[in-house]
Amino acid sequence: MPSHDVLIIGAGLAGQRAALAAAENGATVGIISKVHPVRSHSVAAAGGINAALNPEDTWESHAFDTVKGSDFLGDQDAIEIMCRAAPDEILWLEHAGVTFHRDDRGHLGTRAFGGASAARTYYVADITGQAILHVLYEQLMKHAGQLDRFEEWFATELIQDDEGTCVGAICRNLRDGRHEVFNARSTILASGGAGQAYRPTTNGLIVTGDGIAQAYRIGARLMDMEMIQYHPTTLAGNGLLITEGARGEGAWLLNAEGERFMEKYAPNKLELASRDVVSRAEQTEINEGRGFPDGTVALDITKVPRKRTLEALREIVNIGRDFAGVDITREPIHIHPGQHYIMGGVKTDVDGRTSVPGLYAAGEVACVSVHGGNRLGANSLLDTLIFGRRAGEHAAGLVRQTRMPHTPASRVSDSERRIGEIIRRPGGEGRRVSAIKAELGDTMNEYVAVFRDAEGLAKAHEIIRRLKEEEPKAAIDDRGTVFNQDVIAAIELGYMLDVAEAIVVAAQERKESRGAQFRTDFPARNDEDWLKHVDISLNGDGEPVVSYSPVTITRWEPEERTY
C-alpha cells in the first residue's frame, strides 16, 4: 500500500511541476498517470509560453492583457501572482534544459501572440509544450530517488476520511488490473481538461474530465464551467489544432470572398485579437454565408516567409500535409473554430487548495481563476507551471501538520467490485459506450459552442440527462484485466457526462455574454448583475446546484473591451 506525503494524479505539465516542487521541498512524492507522462496532452501545446521577461516589458502589462482577455472575469490577485512569477519560471525552465529558440544575439527569442500588447511568447519552434514536458520528465528521471512514478495507473476514485478530508486515491494498475490504495497527506489533481466531451475537439482521447468529475463527486466546488474556449483555427473535418503561432508569425484570416474580415471585428489587433473574439468573427462570417461550403474560412500562412514557416511552424506544415493534403507554405488552409480548452474547473485558491480539505488542483483541471471568460494563448502553459509549483510547495509545507492516513484495504475490494460489475455487464442491453460518447460530443458542439441560447441549452441538458440514464447500462466487450481499455472508457464516459452537465447548467445560469459565453438571447455584457463567478456543486441528491462567488478586482476596473 503506497504512502506518500503528496500524491499527484496526472503527469502533464502541472502534475510534473507540482511533483518537482513538492520533492524539492522535502516531501515524499508519488505521481500517477493513466498514460506515460510524455503522452499527457500538455505535449500538444504548440505556440509558446508568456512572460514579461524582456526589460522593456512589464508584468503589469501582461497582467492587464490577461484581465482584459478574461473579459474581466479573471481573479486579479491570482493573475498578478502568475504574471509576476512568469519570468523566473521561464528562466527555471531554461536552466533545466528547455531549448527555447533564441534571437540574433543568443538571448531568448519571442513571438507575437493573440490579445497581447507585446511580443512576450517564448517558444521552441511550434513544439513548446512537448519540449517543456519532455524536459520536466528528464527532471523526474533525474530525481527518481525522491519521486515514485506510477506510469499507466488510473485513479478510480478519491478517498475521504470521516471528516471529509481527502486522504489519497484508489488506483488501478492498467497493466494487470490490480487496485491499490494510495495513502497521502495531500492529493493534487493535475489530470487536465475535458475536451472529449465535445466532438470535434483539439484535445486527445485521454482528456476526459476525470479529475473535474472525481472532485465534483466528493463535494468540491466547480467554477466558470460555462467558459469553453473555441480555438479560432482548427482543421476542417477532424478538428486538429493549427497553432495561434501561425497568426503570431503573420498569417491572415480570409473569408470565401477573399476579404480580410478581422478588419471589421478587431481593427487594431486583427488576427491577434483574443480567441473568443476571433472565433466569434469567424463563426459570424460562416453563418452569414461568407464562408466556404465546408463551413470554414481560410487561414493564409503564405503571408509568412517560407523559410520562417519551415523553421518555426514545422509541426503545422506536417499537419497540413498529413491531415489535409495541403502545403500550407503555398496555399491557404480551411479552418473553423473548434473546442480547445475549458477555462473553468475545480475551484481553487492561489495555492491550489480546493473546497475539499486535503485536495488540491492545478492546471486545466483547476479554476484559480486566471483565465476568467477567455484564456489568452500561451497563458495555459504558464498557468500549469506556476500553480502546479505553488500547489506542490504548499502541500509539501503541510507535511508536519498532518498525519499519514491509513485507509482500510477493504476500500480496494469495493472499488474492484464496482469495476468488475462494469466488466461483467451483459452485452446487448445498452448502447455502446462509443455511441453515447459520440452523441454527447455532437450535442455539446451544437448547443454549447460559440453561440448559445436558452432553447439550445435546455435541449442539451435534456439530452445529457437521457445519456446519464443510459450510461450505467452502456455495453463493453473486453472481459480481461490486462490493459482493459474498454472498461476505462466506460468510466471516463461517466466523468464526461458529469462535466458536460455542469457546463450546461452554468451556461444556462449566466444570462449575459462575456468572454467565451455568448448568449444570442442576452448579447451584451452585464457587469451589474453578472460580474461574478458561477459555481456548481452537487447536492445530496446528485443534482447540480448553482451558487456564486465574487470576482477579485485589485487594480483594473471593468471597461469596454475592444481589440
Partner 1 sequence: MAEYTLRIRRYDPQSGEAAYWDDHVVDMRPSNSVLDAILYLKGETDGSIGIRCSCQQGICGSCGVRMNGKPGLACNTHLEEAAGRRAGLGGEAEVGPTVIEVEPMGNMPVIRDLIVDMDAVHWKKIRRVTPWLIGKQPVPEREYVVPHENMVDVTQTMACIQCGACVSDCLSMEVDPGFIGPAALAKAYRFVGDPRDDEHAERLWDLSKDPQGIYDCTHCFNCVDACPKDVAPMNQIMRLRRMAGSDFDLEDPNNGYRHEHAFVDNIKKNGLLHEADLLPDSYGGKLHPRAVPELISSLPTAITAMSRGKITPQKALLHQHKAPKEVKRIFEKVEGREERVELNLYIVGYDEADEQSGTSNPPGSGASSDTKPLPEADMTGADERGPATERQDPPGAGEDPQSTDPESES
* Footprint on residues 124-183 left by partner 1 (CB under 8 A): 124-125, 127, 130-131, 134-135, 138-139, 141-142, 151, 175
Residue numbers 415-434 binding partner 1 by CB under 8 A? 432-434
Spatial separation of the C-alpha atoms in residues 243 and 304, rounded to whole Å? 14
Is the CB of 25 or the CB of 434 nearer to partner 1?
A: 434
**Residue in 3, 25, 58, 99 binding partner 1, rule: CB under 8 A:** 99
Amino acid 294 reads D
Residue numbers 314-343 binding partner 1 by CB under 8 A? 314-315, 317-319, 321-323, 325, 327, 329
Q: Does 19 bind partner 1 (CB under 8 A)?
A: no
Is the CB of 433 or the CB of 502 nearer to partner 1?
A: 433
Residue numbers 487-506 binding partner 1 by CB under 8 A? 489
Residue in 49, 45, 47 with CA at minimum distance from that of residue 120: 49
Q: How far is the CB of 301 from partner 1 (least distance, A)?
A: 12
**Residue in 51, 476, 493, 502 binding partner 1, rule: CB under 8 A:** 476
The Cα-based distances of 361 to 15, 95, 146, 353, 507 in angstroms read 9, 26, 21, 7, 23
Residue numbers 28-57 binding partner 1 by CB under 8 A? 35-36, 38-41, 43-44
Contact at 8 Å (CB) between 242 and 47? no
Indicate the SS3 state at residue 519. strand
Interface region with partner 1, contact rule CB under 8 A, candidates 24-32, 156-164, 333-341, 473-481: 473-481
Residue numbers 254-283 binding partner 1 by CB under 8 A? none
Amino acid 386 reads I
Interface region with partner 1, contact rule CB under 8 A, candidates 311-319, 380-388, 532-540, 551-559: 311-319
Using alpha carbons only, give the angle 477, 480, 483 rounded to the nearest 5 degrees: 100
Q: How far is the CB of 83 from partner 1 (least distance, A)?
A: 18
Is the CB of 73 or the CB of 240 nearer to partner 1?
A: 240
Burial of 511 (0-12, 13-18, 19+ CB in 10 A): middle
Contact at 8 Å (CB) between 532 and 551? yes
Is the CB of 42 or the CB of 348 nearer to partner 1?
A: 42
**Residue in 145, 162, 307, 524 binding partner 1, rule: CB under 8 A:** 307
Catalytic residue among 120, 199, 221, 275: 275
* Size of site (CB under 8 A) for partner 1: 78
**Residue in 26, 164, 310, 466 binding partner 1, rule: CB under 8 A:** 310
Interface region with partner 1, contact rule CB under 8 A, candidates 19-27, 107-115, 269-277, 390-398: 107-115
Q: Does 240 bind partner 1 (CB under 8 A)?
A: yes
Using alpha carbons only, give the angle 392, 177, 142 rounded to the nearest 5 degrees: 35
Q: How far is the CB of 110 from partner 1 (least distance, A)?
A: 12
Is residue 525 annotated as part of the catalytic site, yes or no? no
Interface region with partner 1, contact rule CB under 8 A, candidates 119-127, 258-266, 339-347, 410-418: 119-127
**Residue in 103, 257, 331, 414 binding partner 1, rule: CB under 8 A:** 103
Amino acid 480 reads G
Amino acid 96 reads A
Spatial separation of the C-alpha atoms in residues 402 and 45, rounded to whole Å? 36
Residue numbers 180-219 binding partner 1 by CB under 8 A? 204-206
Is the CB of 35 or the CB of 440 nearer to partner 1?
A: 35
DSSP of 179-223, one letter per residue? EEEEEEEEEEE-----GGGSSSBSS-TT-S-HHHHHHHHTTPPEE
Name 558's Cβ contacts closer than 8 Å, sequence gap at least 6: 72, 527, 531
Spatial separation of the C-alpha atoms in residues 46 and 68, rounded to whole Å? 23
Backbone angles phi, psi at 540, to 5 degrees: -60, -25
Q: All 3 cell numbers of residue 339?
A: 473546442
Instruction: List, by residue number, the catalytic residues.
Output: 275
